[in-house]
Structure formats: C-alpha cells, structure tokens
Amino acid sequence: MLNPDSVGRTFHGAEEVTVTQSQINDFCAVLSENDTTVAPPTFSIRITLEQSQEILSNPEIGLDWTRVVHGDQRFEIKRPIVANDCLKCSSTIESYKVSDGNEFVVIRSDLHAADQLVVSTWSTLVVRG
C-alpha cells in the first residue's frame, strides 16, 4: 500500500536530462514520423516515466511497482521538445485512492527547461490488488 504521507509531496529529479536529435530521430522512426524538427507529443514519457519509476520505487513511498498497470495518461504541451533541451523533472503524487482492492495513484510530472515549463503530464497508475 502507498504511504498516505506521500500524497501531495513533490519529488525533484536528481539531474537534468539533455535531449539529443538522435533520440528524437529514433522515436520518430518507430512511428514513421518524417518530421524530426520537434519531438512527437508523447516523447516526454521517456523522461517522466523513468523519473516517476525512480520516485515510486523509494521504499518510503511503499508502492509495489511489479503490479502497476498504466490507466490514464494526459499531456499538456506548452511548447514542443527540441534537440539540446536540458530538462529537469519534478513529480508530485497528486491523488491516491483505493477502490475494489485496487490502488489508483495519479502522478503529475513537470518538465522545465531552465525556468520555463515545457510539458506537464499526468499518469494514473493502477496497482492491482
């Protein structure tokens, strides 16, 4: 079970992540997207998922990552990600509820380039009971 004290807490990623053109090219290639000047709308998940996994694996938070399935996903894109962006991630556990023995955790992750918000994402993770 998730530690209820975790709800509302914001965790900051340890370091900046620099996006490379080759990462954008590779992501586009899987989708047969020819325009590689900006990252596709869901590209940021490769940064936020890793960061939120790291946060949620913290034993103090108490989430059993092996039983997690992805429920919902939302992106608010202030501007597209481009090569050489240095992005810093912060994640907040926005809400938590238990329903029918399953846990529902909503994690908001913000990516900033310097002081500019680039993208906000919300992931609902379902921990199967």
Q: Which residues bind other proteins (CB under 8 A)?
A: 23, 26-27, 29-33, 35, 37-42, 45-46, 49-50, 69-77, 79-80, 122
| Shortest distance (Å) from residue 8 CB to other proteins | 22
| Shortest distance (Å) from residue 7 CB to other proteins | 22
Residue closer to other proteins by CB (options 4, 86) is 86
Q: Report the distance separating Cα 8 and Cα 19, nearest Å.
A: 29
Give CA separation, 104 vs 27, 66, 94, in Å: 29, 14, 11
CA dihedral 21, 19, 109, 42 (to 10 degrees): 10
| Shortest distance (Å) from residue 5 CB to other proteins | 28
Residue closer to other proteins by CB (options 9, 117) is 117
**Are the beta carbons of 106 and 93 closer than 8 angstroms?**
yes
| Shortest distance (Å) from residue 4 CB to other proteins | 25
Q: Report the distance separating Cα 113 and Cα 86, nearest Å.
A: 6
